[in-house]
Amino acid sequence: MREALKRICELQPHYSSKNTPQMQERGILINRSLNNSIKSLEEIIAPALGLFGEDFFVSSSDGIGSKTETPWVRFCSKRMSPTPRDGYYAVIHFKCDGSGFYLTLGCGSTSWNDGGLVRLKPQQIYTKIAIARKTLKAEYGELTNFIDTIDLGAKRPLPKSFEQATAVAKFIPYDEIDATDLESLFVELAKLLKTVYENVQSTGADLTEADQAQIDIEKVINPRRTNSSSQGYGLSAPEKKAVELRAMEIANTWLIEHGFKTHDKSSSEPYDLLATKDNRKIFVEVKGTTSNDPTSILMTANEVELHRKNKGSTALAIVSSIKLTRGDAPTANGGRLEMQMDWDIDEWLAIPTAYRMERK
């Protein structure tokens, strides 16, 4: 593996978009030698991924059609990242000048939205990366190894997008390849990736509440499509219940602290809490989510009708960033409350996400 890494670095200054002899050699090293070397480390990398190592997957590319400035090899859980556009993964990126390579944890450029995978805007990629970094810092404190800033030295847009989509990185200089314990770094990187899979991707922390809910709808409507592309998103019924109860607890506490008497109506009415104060009734909708992005929510037709009909007497409570602890009896804690009293539903954009079709 080390000889392949060094030779790829040596070939980088000879980059051409055409399939020159040097680029042919580089392609063989990337897609065969290095790819197979990472696969051969499955017995030490896969366990570090925990349950996500059960479908340990390696892929690579030195360009589709034209050769790329910055070839790469990545490893991941295949269900979490079926293609380089999806989910999070660990990846080796080579500097253009051949001075070395980066070991990184990054994300794809697409996400689940509007019933399918859509290309992310730069700000959305930044948000996903920021959530991953925040999660890793919360779990490990300050990292000791993966603290470098990635700079591939590339001129073209695609390598620049690789840099934008990198959460953490470690640079390995060419002259330190032989002396570096690469296997240990791969294992450490796999542990970081496991943390992101557990606490970000599989809980939907990088998705809005609406997107999380829409994935569940899509899985019912078209399970074959979503099974291959929803990238491990989605909570189990007990996990959803734990998140919902945590959101209700936080919203209810806020209302009581502000002088309201409350009644839980979530099981019988198209709203969650009835809040009363000074002979005034407020119908409160509570939305709880593990997402760090509370910019969109999903509502039923009955909920929408209630908020429109009773405008001025409704409220919306969004509790985001709820921390979920998984297990046989999942628990939820934390959460950030955004309480909008006298919520005007018509100030929000209502987007149809599914239709109920009945025979005429």
- Residues 102-117 have a mean pLDDT of 74
Cα(358)–Cα(360) distance, integer angstroms? 6
- Token pair, residue 40, equals 């051969």
* Contact criterion met (CB below 8 Å) for 68 and 96: no
**pLDDT higher than 90, residue 290:** no
* Chain segment 223-281, per-residue pLDDT in tens: 554 444 444 556 788 988 999 999 999 999 999 999 999 999 999 999 999 999 999 99
Ordered domains of the chain (ranges, CATH)? 2-201 (3.30.920), 209-347 (3.40.1350)
CA distance 121 to 109: 8
In a 13 Å sphere around the CA of 151, the CA atoms on its Cβ side amount to: 5
Cβ distance 167 to 105 under 8 Å?
yes
- Distance between CA atoms of residues 258 and 25, nearest Å: 70
What pLDDT is stored for residue 108 in this prediction?
84
What is the pLDDT at residue 21?
A: 96
- Asked if 82 and 229 touch (Cβ cutoff 8 Å), the reply is yes
- Is the pLDDT at 356 greater than 80? The verdict is no
Q: Which of 75-89, 110-124, 150-164, 304-318 has the lowest mean pLDDT?
A: 110-124
Element (H, E) at 72: strand 72-77
**pLDDT over threshold 80, residue 111:** no
**Separation of first and last alpha carbons in the chain:** 65
CB environment 274-299: b (16+ within 10 A), e (fewer) = bbeeeeeebbbbbbbbbbbbbebbbb
Q: What is the DSSP-derived secondary structure letter of residue 347? A: G
pLDDT of residue 230: 47
Per-residue confidence (pLDDT) for residue 226, from 0 to 100? 47
pLDDT band (50, 70, 90) for residue 107: very high
Amino acid at 86: D
Q: Is the pLDDT of residue 167 over 90?
A: yes
Output the pLDDT for position 60.
Answer: 96
